Structure 1
Amino acid sequence: MQMINDKWKFYFQTFGRDKYKLLFSTIINIIQPIILLPIVLLVRYIIDDIIPQKDTNMVILAGFTVLVLYITSNVITLLSQKIILKTVKTAILNLREQIVNKLYMFPRSFYDNTDIAQLHTVVVQDTNRLDFASNIVISSLIPSLIISGALGCILLFLNLKLFLIMMLIVPVMIFFSKLSGDRIKTWTKKSHRLFETITKGILRILQIMDLTVQRSAERVEKDRQLQNLTAFRDVSYKHAWIISVYQLLQSTIIAFSGVLIIVVGGIAVINELISLGNLISFYVATGMLKAQMSTVTRAIPIAIEGYESLTTIYNLYQTEYDIIYNGSKRIEFTGYINLKAVDFSYGKNKLLININLNLSPGSITAICGPNGSGKSTIVNLILGNYKPHCGLIYADDNSYEDIDISYLHKNIGVVPQNPIIFPASIWENITYGYPETDKRTVKEAVSAANIKYFIEQLPMGYDTMIGENGVLLSGGECQSIAIAQALLLKPKLLILDEPTNNLDDEKIGSLIKNIKNLSYHPAVLLISHNKLVQQEASQIFIIKDHTLVKM
């Protein structure tokens, strides 16, 4: 119960002060039944009084009044829905913003152990479902429940006996709602989870398309995805079928009540127990109630689906994680990095033991070692993505425990082993995060990265689009763009993780020369097996038996 309350608190806090707008819209919805009552009374008046008097003018006037009241009711509904839609959309925007902020707060270890495709589905699909459900619940379900309650009071006022007869169906409706609601909830969960599986499957197809074609594995991959698609078809069919049965049952019960009222009311009119106008006005009000209950019936499955999505989003938001560093000291970093007696493990498996490493401005440090020995882990430790299990890391003699790591990143340029290139222009890739960078600074970085001539030979130059993951460029060109990106802000520390994988010896030599001649003399950390690169290093280390050994 506490979790449910916390879940709703989490949801409503996204509305902020706009909660008062929802309250205002609720008040507007309460006004609607006040307008509906005169409509019902006018119908009775027309049948019982005006028509017997054969007063044509009064019939027209009364009919016009009913029309005006209906239009007024619809205008109020429209006004209420406009307020609600704008309020809900703003709340969902706030929710999505909170989730994005949360994603940036999670440590690297969270993403190492998380299914990214599933996470993507939660952030995109579940927030979209919650958005849709919120609109339906607040703009349709809640107003319909309020109006239904008011119409019930009107029906009670019109005729007590007919009202009591109609109320006989309420327990039946509640029984079927409870029975169907539980089943809808179960199949909604299954449908959502299988949809996540399909999303992951399609993403997998796109990510490994080249490998699949190269190995003629299309049939294997198609069969794998067909299993998921078939499972989703079966579950979504059952989900939709249960909803259809539920809605049909409720509609049938409501229709039965209407027939019952006509029969019982008709007998009462024949026996002169009530007037024809009373019966017709009661039936008109029942028709209004039927319309509102139909809205409720359609909205409940959507509300259940939205609640399941809210649960998923809430669980993500409540995910606990270890804060790597939370220091706030902002230092003017000059390039000195010191690892002192650092140990690091993945679970129970020790990867690095007693690592001691000093990086200083103007020096080039190379680290080599077999795959999986911990080279990239050292990079992540320096970047503050991981925290040592033992030992300390310093930047300019300031412990990582004390400093603002995010601010430190502004002075560190990184070229990962697999550069991240996104579908945009060369200029946008190089200036990512800093679009206001001037041309002179960009060209300096491009020259140092040894790619200036290549860019200037392109018809569109810096505006050339390079496709998803740089598919329109060679591996070496992508690597050079990543190097230019890393050099853009004149970093005090430059980290190059296997930067020469796609470069020939001539380009490697030119790149190292350019880095050594940089006017701002950064500290350079090279992760490389290339002998030519290692020859240019001030100090070379190899990872052996989980520790750094100087060569």
Structure 2
Amino acid sequence: MAEAPLQSEQDRATSKRVGALRDLWPFMRPHRTMMIAAMVALVSTAAISLILPLAVRRVVDNFEVDDGGLLDRYFAAALIIAALMAVGSALRYYLVTRFGERVVADIRKTLFDRMISMSPAFFERIMTGEVLSRITTDTTLILSVIGSSVSIALRQSLTLIGGLILLMVTSAKLTGLVLLLVPAVILPIILLGRRVRALSRENQDWIASSSGSASEALLSAQTVQAYTNEAASRASFSDITEKSFDAARKRIAVRALMTAIIIFLVFAGVVGVLWIGARDVRGGVMTVGELVQFLIYSVMVAGGVAALSEIWGELQRAAGATERLVELLHSVDAVQDPETPKQIEAKRIGAISFRDVSFSYPSRPGISALDHVTLDVKPGETVALVGPSGAGKTTIIQLIQRFYDPQSGAILFDDVDLRHLAREEFRRDIALVPQDPVIFATTARENIRFGRPGATDAEVEEAARAAAAHDFLMALPDGYESYVGERGVMLSGGQKQRIAIARAILRDAPVLLLDEATSALDAESEHLVQKAVESLAEGRTTLIVAHRLATVKKADRIVVFEAGKIVATGTHDELVAQGGLYARLARLQFTEGLAAE
């Protein structure tokens, strides 16, 4: 299945669909009960607030003729209304805010669940930092809307509608004049609101780019500093951040203009209407209490319109954030599990076959990484893949794990096409030691246990001994419980590689993939690890990618790659005798290497 591209910057900048907020409904639906309870509290508080002006009117109209008893009752009722307002508002705040936090937590979990299973091809097109920005910054925007703005918008809408109805009851004439203002207020909301929406989306895109740039630079801080590129990195980050600020500045300016226009139109209209009302009171058409009641409702309606114009901008920002999140959720992975995966034997024997496989990386479609490769690896066989950089060796390792699918041909695991198997199912039977070992920001013990989470402490330590890692781990301040830092910054390259090897040993899988597994080891450690790998490889299907031919001399078979093709196959002695690429590499490494020493 083709992978759906993410929206372009231009498409995202010009999108104006506030209706994108509807895409949040699947996350809100499971919490309908909480949402309904919040709505009840919200409607109740809005209704109570609309009762107050009626009480004020009665107080004003009866102030001069009442003996005090009625006024006392009105003020007592006002206290009761205030108490109900306080309880209702607190309940509304609690329910709405909790509802927003719950929905956003679900969105974040769903996004992470989706992203962590995406194939590497997806991350060739989008920076990890941008994905993190969407999961954090964009969801924070949505939280502010669901947990606050929507509640305020609904309350103000109810106040606006109820206020207009009660304005009509109080004075139809004055209300008709107020309604003439509505088109004048709505027009700038629609026209300027679209511009705010587009600028909000652009602002969020630049924030995401800024996060991606910062993440990349900070994760590579040592390299940046080693090549004295701090100034260039600062300039690049500053440029992106300034573009984000420019988009934000434009959005703020447009929104401020929209707010100023709306507030002026609303309050100018109210002042004009009240001027007419004051003349009606003088003429005896309406009472002072009715005018005061109309005045309070007018202020409530005007405040509601002004608040809604503010919230409209927030809703537009949230709509942009929602589009960006939904964009991730709807991204189609190039590698997908079949709807009905096939099952293979309970005991995997680890047979691997490449049948006329051709493959190009999605980011380099015109360059062939593998060109009609056919390769059969028998169960329990140790096969070494050698050749110059870029020949296709690591591509073989990646395709075996189905990080990508070939454009043609098939890859079989125990005689079943990988595309017919669930990825999680067959990957459990593979242990990998990558060229650049991944070390997590936790203890050394937990890093090794990552290979088999249910392993005991004794099993972890046994794997470490087999990988020649036990001694250096015990020398750390807290032994196996030592925190190794983000990406293992507290360890040397060789130490990280030995932890990765211990992790693979602990996994105890029928297929072992070693991608330059000993490249960062010193001679003594390499000798120890080589013995551990030889012991581990017994009875397992093992593929070894290596540039250093000394590590593959004992392999059952050596496969030589060049320009994505298999150019020779055989044992070390056979390939040396044949001449060709392998013999040339062997001569460079063994003969000239010794001469140099």
**TM class, shorter-chain normalised?**
over 0.9
The answer as to 2:99 corresponding to 1:99 is no
Taking structure 1 as the reference length, the TM-score comes to 0.93
Tell me which stretches of 4 or more aligned residues in structure 1 moved more than 4 Å: 3-9
The answer as to 2:154 corresponding to 1:142 is yes
User: Aligned partners of 1:519, 1:233: CA distance in 2, in Å?
Assistant: 56
Q: Structure 1 stretch 120-129 or stretch 498-507: which is displaced more?
A: 120-129
User: Aligned partners of 1:198, 1:12: CA distance in 2, in Å?
Assistant: 29
The residue type paired with residue 16 of structure 1 is R
User: Aligned partners of 1:546, 1:38: CA distance in 2, in Å?
Assistant: 80
- Give the equivalent residue in structure 2 for 1:247: 259
User: Aligned partners of 1:278, 1:334: CA distance in 2, in Å?
Assistant: 89
Structure 2, unaligned runs of 5 or more: 1-15, 570-574, 576-597
Q: Structure 1 stretch 151-160 or stretch 182-191: which is displaced more?
A: 182-191
Alpha-carbon offset, residue 4 of structure 1: 6.3
Q: Give the SS at the match of 2:369.
A: strand
Percent of aligned positions that are identical: 21
Q: Give the SS at the match of 1:312.
A: helix
Contact 2:19 2:319 in 1 (8 A): no
Change (3 A) 1:6 1:339: farther
Change (3 A) 1:277 1:526: same
Q: Give the SS at the match of 1:542.
A: strand
Contact 1:29 1:146 in 2 (8 A): no
The answer as to 2:16 corresponding to 1:16 is no
Superposed CA deviations along residues 32-76 of structure 1, whole A, max 9, x for unmatched, are 454344322211111111x11253343233122123213313422
Q: Structure 1 stretch 406-415 or stretch 12-21: which is displaced more?
A: 12-21
The answer as to 2:431 corresponding to 1:413 is yes
Contact 2:391 2:565 in 1 (8 A): no
Q: Give the SS at the match of 2:121.
A: helix
Q: Give the SS at the match of 1:14.
A: helix
User: Aligned partners of 2:342, 2:72: CA distance in 1, in Å?
Assistant: 76
Superposed CA deviations along residues 425-464 of structure 1, whole A, max 9, x for unmatched, are 1112112274442012101210111111111122200111
Residue from 442, 447, 455 that aligns with 2:473: 455
Q: Structure 1 stretch 461-470 or stretch 247-256: which is displaced more?
A: 247-256
Alpha-carbon offset, residue 262 of structure 1: 3.3
Contact 1:368 1:542 in 2 (8 A): yes
Q: Give the SS at the match of 1:488.
A: helix
The answer as to 2:434 corresponding to 1:423 is no
Alpha-carbon offset, residue 535 of structure 1: 1.5
User: Aligned partners of 2:530, 2:328: CA distance in 1, in Å?
Assistant: 45
Change (3 A) 1:415 1:181: same
Change (3 A) 1:440 1:361: farther
Superposed CA deviations along residues 496-516 of structure 1, whole A, max 9, x for unmatched, are 111122112222121121122
Superposed CA deviations along residues 275-321 of structure 1, whole A, max 9, x for unmatched, are 11111111122233233333323211110000011111222222233
User: Aligned partners of 2:186, 2:176: CA distance in 1, in Å?
Assistant: 16
- Give the equivalent residue in structure 2 for 1:151: 163
The answer as to 2:457 corresponding to 1:439 is yes
Q: Give the SS at the match of 2:420.
A: coil
- Give the equivalent residue in structure 2 for 1:296: 308
Q: Structure 1 stretch 384-393 or stretch 493-502: which is displaced more?
A: 384-393
- Give the equivalent residue in structure 2 for 1:515: 533
Alpha-carbon offset, residue 187 of structure 1: 1.5
Alpha-carbon offset, residue 362 of structure 1: 4.0
User: Aligned partners of 1:260, 1:349: CA distance in 2, in Å?
Assistant: 73
Superposed CA deviations along residues 317-343 of structure 1, whole A, max 9, x for unmatched, are 222333444224254323222223322
Q: Structure 1 stretch 197-206 or stretch 253-262: which is displaced more?
A: 253-262
The residue type paired with residue 44 of structure 1 is R
User: Aligned partners of 2:174, 2:22: CA distance in 1, in Å?
Assistant: 41
Contact 2:443 2:482 in 1 (8 A): yes
User: Aligned partners of 2:450, 2:52: CA distance in 1, in Å?
Assistant: 63
User: Aligned partners of 1:525, 1:83: CA distance in 2, in Å?
Assistant: 57
Alpha-carbon offset, residue 133 of structure 1: 1.8
Contact 1:25 1:83 in 2 (8 A): yes
User: Aligned partners of 1:240, 1:6: CA distance in 2, in Å?
Assistant: 22
- Give the equivalent residue in structure 2 for 1:477: 495
Q: Structure 1 stretch 515-524 or stretch 399-408: which is displaced more?
A: 515-524
The residue type paired with residue 357 of structure 2 is V
The residue type paired with residue 423 of structure 1 is A
Contact 2:18 2:315 in 1 (8 A): no
Q: Structure 1 stretch 134-143 or stretch 377-386: which is displaced more?
A: 134-143
User: Aligned partners of 2:525, 2:172: CA distance in 1, in Å?
Assistant: 93
The answer as to 2:130 corresponding to 1:111 is no
Q: Give the SS at the match of 1:73.
A: helix
User: Aligned partners of 1:539, 1:443: CA distance in 2, in Å?
Assistant: 32
Alpha-carbon offset, residue 528 of structure 1: 0.3
Residue from 332, 349, 353 that aligns with 1:334: 349
- Give the equivalent residue in structure 2 for 1:343: 358
Alignment of 1:509-548 (within 5 A): 509-518=527-536, 521-548=539-566
Residue from 210, 214, 218 that aligns with 1:198: 210
User: Aligned partners of 1:204, 1:429: CA distance in 2, in Å?
Assistant: 23
The answer as to 2:169 corresponding to 1:169 is no
The residue type paired with residue 326 of structure 2 is Y
- Give the equivalent residue in structure 2 for 1:367: 385
Change (3 A) 1:195 1:33: closer
Q: Structure 1 stretch 487-496 or stretch 339-348: which is displaced more?
A: 339-348
Structure 1, unaligned runs of 5 or more: none
User: Aligned partners of 2:165, 2:19: CA distance in 1, in Å?
Assistant: 34
- Give the equivalent residue in structure 2 for 1:276: 288
Q: Structure 1 stretch 257-266 or stretch 138-147: which is displaced more?
A: 257-266
CA-based RMSD of the aligned residues comes to 2.4
Change (3 A) 1:284 1:441: same
Contact 1:29 1:147 in 2 (8 A): no
Superposed CA deviations along residues 454-512 of structure 1, whole A, max 9, x for unmatched, are 11122200111111211111100011111111121211111111112211222212112
The answer as to 2:63 corresponding to 1:45 is no
Contact 1:325 1:384 in 2 (8 A): no
- Total equivalences in the alignment: 548
Superposed CA deviations along residues 400-442 of structure 1, whole A, max 9, x for unmatched, are 2333321111121101111111221111211227444201210
Contact 1:47 1:277 in 2 (8 A): yes
The residue type paired with residue 22 of structure 1 is M
The residue type paired with residue 521 of structure 2 is L
The residue type paired with residue 514 of structure 1 is A
Change (3 A) 1:545 1:272: closer
Residue from 472, 493, 499 that aligns with 2:517: 499
The residue type paired with residue 343 of structure 1 is S
User: Aligned partners of 1:499, 1:281: CA distance in 2, in Å?
Assistant: 82
Q: Structure 1 stretch 269-278 or stretch 402-411: which is displaced more?
A: 402-411
The residue type paired with residue 96 of structure 2 is I
The answer as to 2:48 corresponding to 1:35 is yes
Contact 1:343 1:388 in 2 (8 A): yes
The residue type paired with residue 336 of structure 1 is A
Q: Give the SS at the match of 1:258.
A: helix
Residue from 279, 300, 304 that aligns with 1:267: 279
Superposed CA deviations along residues 195-239 of structure 1, whole A, max 9, x for unmatched, are 122212222331332223222232232222222232222222221
Contact 2:23 2:322 in 1 (8 A): no
Change (3 A) 1:457 1:27: closer
The answer as to 2:65 corresponding to 1:59 is no
Q: Structure 1 stretch 432-441 or stretch 456-465: which is displaced more?
A: 432-441
Q: Give the SS at the match of 1:268.
A: helix
Taking structure 2 as the reference length, the TM-score comes to 0.86
User: Aligned partners of 1:311, 1:242: CA distance in 2, in Å?
Assistant: 22
